[in-house]
Amino acid sequence: MTGNDPADETEVSPDRHSHASGEDWRVADGDESSDGDRVAEPLRTDGGTDAADGGETTLDPWGSATVADYRKLFEEFGIEEFDEVLPEVPDPHYLMRRGVIFGHRDYRRVVDAMVNDDPFAALSGFMPTGDPHIGHKLVFDEIIWHQQQGGDAYALIADLEAHSARGMTWDEIDEHARDYLLSLLALGFDPEEGTLYRQSGDREVQDLAFELGSQTNFSELQAIYDFDGETDVSHMQSVVTQMADILYPQLDEPKPTVIPVGPDQDPHMRLVRDLAARMGYFGVTKAYASFEADEDEHQYLQLAYEGRAEYAENPDQPRCEEAAEWLEEGRANVGGGDKALKTVLRKLENAGMEPLRPRTRFLDRNATEEAFEALIDAVEGDKRVFDEHIDSFDLSREAAEQLAREVELDHGGYGFTAPSSIYHRFMTGLTGGKMSSSVPASHISLLDDPEDGYDKVKAATTGGRETAEKQRELGGKADECPVYELYAYLLAGDDDEFAKEVYDECVGGERLCGDCKEQAAQLMREFLEDHQEKREEVEDLLEAADIELDSPRKRD
């Protein structure tokens, strides 16, 4: 690990007493400076149990997504840290407070809408491939919380995806779909305020998927999802269907939308955010002259524009060719062999006497002729009109984007704005390793008999020491304990004091695993009893809800 002196680690005491306060009770947050037990494994930094997977971080929506190090998701994939927006979130959910929701893309826009009482939406989807379990509960809770904060809430059954990517029959799908929906309603989703649908039963989603498909090609899916010549067409169709799901809340009007998911779904988020822009009538970029430039080239253009007083005959009107000459002279200072410098020099030379002048550019992407004409009229102030773009010298980028969206909406376009996402941690399996639907002992189904739930918790792996004596002396390893996770993710509910108490008592050596598991097991039993009772109570609510429970695609 670069920049990490192993000598630092040997100084860390394995005695957790000194860490029994502050923010440590939040779930392991990728900053495990306090863990002296990992001296031999300096690469494992997230407190996860995935090291057996080779420590690699892969985000595969249909494969085994593994996150060896949540920090990598920030550095490598550009996911942002949730803690940065947390202080702005009104009355944050406990999953946010406890660091279970650890990352986001562009969530601030949704928070702003929440704070300002502007419209916003939350949507997530569920593949009905098995029983809903406590991992799904996280996402149910996230949707419900956003609904309670005033958002338009959507939950969908990804039956097309389950059928195409997982080979589920329509019979199996119907059975599981019903179970997901009952749990969602039992946990508090309001079906009268919110929207439920299944992919196969929603014509609007399918039409939108078709439109989105015309902006997506095979090479792109290949690059993002590793698809190849053997990938079946329905699987690809399920991708554009998910893109349509995510944009669905914006069909009435564009609005900030949050998609709560696990980080394995991030490839979908990257694609949909891009597609939202690609579908637009107009793209808004910046430019300095009539030619286009990429981001690296823009840095040189900006440099040249700012330095205009040094070289321009008339500093109010620096010429492109003057800028080229000046950049060329300064080449050594700005990093000689840079490719962007070379290309930008060529562009500036070709532009010759054209003045260098910053501007906001509207590109015609998918606009109708009428819409393009309307935009020309709508751009106020100093502007220049070209065949396929309009340059404005007065409008800021934000103002331009808003104007472009308005014109698009007036002329029959969607006007999509890029959706946001929030990401929660994967729960550790009760048996250690990953929580997996195919290993019943590793997870707790929301349909498990409460006694079985009790037993599973009692049998769970812990972060305890070999002996009670050692535990009293050194404290337990709550950060590596699936039972502590159960408290933090579910059993402690909204009660932070309780979660913190369990943590502090554990790492302080006052709590022993036997009692701790007994308490957790009882709470789990109560939770399951209560949840299953509520499921029965909401049966009627589900029957009355606007969603097809019996797939017409079934054959008998």
Residues at the contact surface with ligand TRP, assessed by CB under 6 A: 61, 123-127, 156, 158, 161, 242, 245-246, 259, 261, 265
Contact 104, 85 (CB under 8 A): yes
Beta carbon of residue 209, minimum distance to ligand TRP (angstroms, whole number)? 11
| The pair of three-digit structure tokens given for residue 337, joined into one six-digit string | 């062999």
Residue nearer to ligand TRP on the CB measure, 153 or 259: 259
Residue nearer to ligand TRP on the CB measure, 158 or 275: 158
Helix axes 233-247, 203-213, angle to 10 degrees: 110
Strands (E), 277-388: 282-287, 359-364, 383-385
> Taking CB within 5 to 8 Å according to partner kind, which of ligand TRP, ligand SF4, none is near residue 483?
ligand SF4
* Runs of H (alpha helix) within 154-202: 159-166, 170-186
> Taking CB within 5 to 8 Å according to partner kind, which of ligand SF4, ligand TRP, none is near residue 183?
none
Residue nearer to ligand TRP on the CB measure, 131 or 505: 131
> Taking CB within 5 to 8 Å according to partner kind, which of ligand TRP, ligand SF4, none is near residue 124?
ligand TRP
> Taking CB within 5 to 8 Å according to partner kind, which of ligand SF4, ligand TRP, none is near residue 246?
ligand TRP
Beta carbon of residue 156, minimum distance to ligand SF4 (angstroms, whole number)? 36
Decide if residue 461 touches ligand SF4 (CB under 6 A): no
Residue nearer to ligand TRP on the CB measure, 32 or 161: 161
Q: What is the footprint of ligand SF4 within residues 379-408 (CB under 6 A)?
A: none
Cα–Cα distance for residue pair 43/38, rounded to 1 Å: 9
Decide if residue 517 touches ligand SF4 (CB under 6 A): yes
Beta carbon of residue 505, minimum distance to ligand SF4 (angstroms, whole number)? 7
Beta carbon of residue 297, minimum distance to ligand TRP (angstroms, whole number)? 36
Contact 483, 517 (CB under 8 A): yes
Decide if residue 491 touches ligand SF4 (CB under 6 A): no
Cα–Cα distance for residue pair 515/239, rounded to 1 Å: 47
Taking CA atoms, 123 is separated from 149, 270, 286, 422, 443, in Å, by 14, 16, 32, 11, 24
Written as one string, the DSSP assignment of 132-155 is: -BHHHHHHHHHHHHHHHTT-EEEE
Residue nearer to ligand TRP on the CB measure, 65 or 524: 65
Question: Can you tell me which of 73, 289, 404, 478 binds ligand SF4, judged by CB under 6 A?
Answer: 478
Torsion of CA 143, 101, 482, 443, to 10 degrees: 30
Which of these segments, 4-12, 13-21, 390-398, 471-479, binds ligand SF4 (CB under 6 A)? 471-479
Strands (E), 268-393: 282-287, 359-364, 383-385, 389-392
Residue nearer to ligand TRP on the CB measure, 200 or 265: 265
The alpha carbon of 95 is separated from its chain's Cα centroid by a whole number of angstroms, namely 15
- Print the binding letters for residues 323-352 with ligand SF4: x by CB under 6 A, - otherwise: ------------------------------
Decide if residue 511 touches ligand SF4 (CB under 6 A): yes
Which of these segments, 271-279, 319-327, 421-429, 473-481, binds ligand SF4 (CB under 6 A)? 473-481
Give the total residue count for the chain: 556
Strands (E), 312-388: 359-364, 383-385
Decide if residue 457 touches ligand SF4 (CB under 6 A): no
3-state SS class at 112: helix
Cα–Cα distance for residue pair 376/371, rounded to 1 Å: 9
Which of these segments, 220-228, 241-249, 428-436, 508-516, binds ligand SF4 (CB under 6 A)? 508-516
Beta carbon of residue 256, minimum distance to ligand SF4 (angstroms, whole number)? 38
Cα–Cα distance for residue pair 307/333, rounded to 1 Å: 14
| The pair of three-digit structure tokens given for residue 469, joined into one six-digit string | 């004596």
Written as one string, the DSSP assignment of 537-548 is: HTHHHHHHSSS-
423: β partners: 103, 261
Beta carbon of residue 169, minimum distance to ligand TRP (angstroms, whole number)? 18
Contact 434, 461 (CB under 8 A): no
For the chain, how far is it from start to end, CA to CA, in angstroms?
Answer: 59
Decide if residue 484 touches ligand SF4 (CB under 6 A): yes
> Taking CB within 5 to 8 Å according to partner kind, which of ligand SF4, ligand TRP, none is near residue 481?
ligand SF4
Decide if residue 359 touches ligand SF4 (CB under 6 A): no
Taking CA atoms, 32 is separated from 46, 95, 417, 481, in Å, by 7, 20, 37, 14
Question: Can you tell me which of 462, 532, 538, 547 binds ligand SF4, judged by CB under 6 A?
Answer: 462
| Interface with ligand SF4 (CB under 6 A) | 462-464, 476-478, 481, 483-484, 506, 511, 513, 516-517
